[in-house]
Chain A
Amino acid sequence: AQSVAQPEDQVNVAEGNPLTVKCTYSVSGNPYLFWYVQYPNRGLQFLLKYITGDNLVKGSYGFEAEFNKSQTSFHLKKPSALVSDSALYFCAVRDREGGYNKLIFGAGTRLAVHP
């Protein structure tokens, strides 16, 4: 089965500094990778995805992610963090089993941006 790992429970960054939230994946075949964000007591919002093509994917709210096949990573990045970026971030991968497709999520990384 496919899986993703988010090695950091929490990431702290000062406002205006660049941020990185890490994700590594384990898949057989070509990976379909996603990033979502969750604000307190809310559902998840889609940020960006990698299916194929350019390794640098641009998404919502100024976020981007770099797909690195050799390192099996899909780290989320933003050049300049905002306090409003503080939230819980999830990496996800498509898993295909028995002809059915489903999304498998990492444990999440809490991002705290300090003024």
Chain B
Amino acid sequence: DGGITQSPKYLFRKEGQNVTLSCEQNLNHDAMYWYRQDPGQGLRLIYYSQIVNDFQKGDIAEGYSVSREKKESFPLTVTSAQKNPTAFYLCASSRDTGGWTEAFFGQGTRLTVV
């Protein structure tokens, strides 16, 4: 089945640790996105990428980093510089980079700082 897979589903991070969230898609989509979801704030864009080896900062990129070495993969690293990382993280992809096709979302990773 084609789709977008995020792992792990739940992740716990200690203070000062970096953690990496995985996002893989087998839809042959060009564009990929990372969003953060907090209660009552909707989805906020962290990073997005339209092509391999190229990505752009979204509205809340500070404390996060990404890479796009392969078309199907767009991992997100939450660094120790991110002061409030507890949130639900959603990865998405879309077929084209023009913005007129819908995005497909993964099932999300819930990150908790312990």
Contact = CB atoms under 8 A, between A and B. Distances in A.
Contacts, number: 68
A101 B42 contact: no
A104 B50 contact: no
A43 B108 contact: yes
B105 A44 contact: yes
Interface in A44-77: 44-46, 49, 51
**Chain B at the A interface: mostly helix, strand, loop or mixed?**
strand
Contacts of B107: 42-43
A102 B6 CA distance: 20
Contacts of B31: 101
Interface of B: 4, 6, 31, 33, 35, 40-45, 48, 50, 56, 58, 88, 90, 92, 97-100, 102-108, 110
Cβ-closest 5 pairs across A and B: A101-B99, A43-B105, A94-B99, A107-B42, A46-B102
Given A43-B90, A43-B92, 17 more contacts: A32-B99, A36-B105, A43-B4, A43-B106, A43-B107, A44-B90, A51-B100, A90-B43, A94-B100, A95-B99, A98-B56, A102-B45, A103-B92, A104-B45, A105-B42, A107-B40, A108-B42
